Amino acid sequence: MSVEAVYVVNLRGDAERWTSVRRMLEPWPFLRVQRIEAVYGSALPDDVCVRLTHDPYSVIAKGALGCALSHVRAWEIISGSEDPWALVIEDDATVHQADRLAVLDLPHGVDFSFCNHRTQPEAAESPPFAGDIAAHRPVAECLTAVESRRQAVGTDGYLISREGARKLVTLFKRHGYFSHVDLRMLAYATPAAAYEAELPDHSWLRNGILEIKRVTGAAPDVIATVLSPALTRHEAATETSRTREDRLGMIGGRAPGG
């Protein structure tokens, strides 16, 4: 099955990044590239942040909330589209060998698949070689690698089905918009047996998943995989849009007791 729809999360003020992404994908005319206008987290009032997340500390992490709302906006659009699958990328991601989107094997019943370099099960993070055959790996196989890299899971690149987008919209509406969107996606797809077996006690990733599971419930709500080799790589050399929005949001936001 081919993936023809590509959605690019992009802030209105980052026109240069949007132009760069369009140029990057121009050589593959079968792709339909659509911009998703991202949400400026720094512009959200403190009270709105707390109401959406049920977390008083969200006023100093407005970039994370804006990022989550931006991806929810993308899921709403995808869930109402005619495309069975889509690729979602952020505007600071590089797509490696986009021609692979024309021949991807997309397993039946899977809701989404991380396809960025940070979720690769292998230690190597190099771009794929010509002729590499992409395989869908269980999410559990990426946990140790993500933990060891001590980086975010990443929403700079993932494949998502129309049904998967509908599920995530419903789950975020039900549970609120707290935490980081990438970690929420991973937590929704990871059974307790997997993180208990793969992650040491008190590891940052295990603790993060557990904090989310306390709100959302222990059972997995979606089925996800990791596509290997990766399709995308995060290329932000300095601060990302999310961290920039966190910094700007802290000018007005105050932590509890601050």
**pLDDT (mean) for 153-160:** 96
Residue 126 has pLDDT above 70, yes or no: no
Examine residue 244 and state whether it is found in any structural domain, yes or no.
yes
8 Å CB contact between 232 and 96: yes
CATH of the domain at 245: 3.90.550
Residue-number span of the structural domain to which 90 is assigned: 5-249
pLDDT tier at 130, thresholds 50, 70, 90: low
In the three-class reduction of DSSP (H, G, I as helix; E, B as strand; rest coil), residue 243 is classed as helix
Examine residue 35 and state whether it is found in any structural domain, yes or no.
yes
Examine residue 126 and state whether it is found in any structural domain, yes or no.
yes
Q: Which pTM does this prediction carry? A: 0.91
**Residue 173: partners with Cβ closer than 8 Å, 6 or more residues away:** none
**What total number of domains does the chain contain?**
1
Share of the chain above pLDDT 90, in %: 80
Examine residue 181 and state whether it is found in any structural domain, yes or no.
yes
Examine residue 258 and state whether it is found in any structural domain, yes or no.
no
Distance of CA 235 to the CA centre of its chain: 15
**Residue 8: partners with Cβ closer than 8 Å, 6 or more residues away:** 18, 21, 33, 34, 35, 36, 89, 90, 91
Residue 254 has pLDDT above 60, yes or no: no
Examine residue 133 and state whether it is found in any structural domain, yes or no.
yes
Examine residue 104 and state whether it is found in any structural domain, yes or no.
yes
**Residue 80: partners with Cβ closer than 8 Å, 6 or more residues away:** none
Task: Say which residue the tokens 């949400």 belong to.
Answer: 39
Task: Say which residue the tokens 């690698």 belong to.
Answer: 145
Residue 250 has pLDDT above 60, yes or no: no
Examine residue 257 and state whether it is found in any structural domain, yes or no.
no
Q: Each residue of 64-81: pLDDT tens digit?
A: 999 999 999 999 999 999
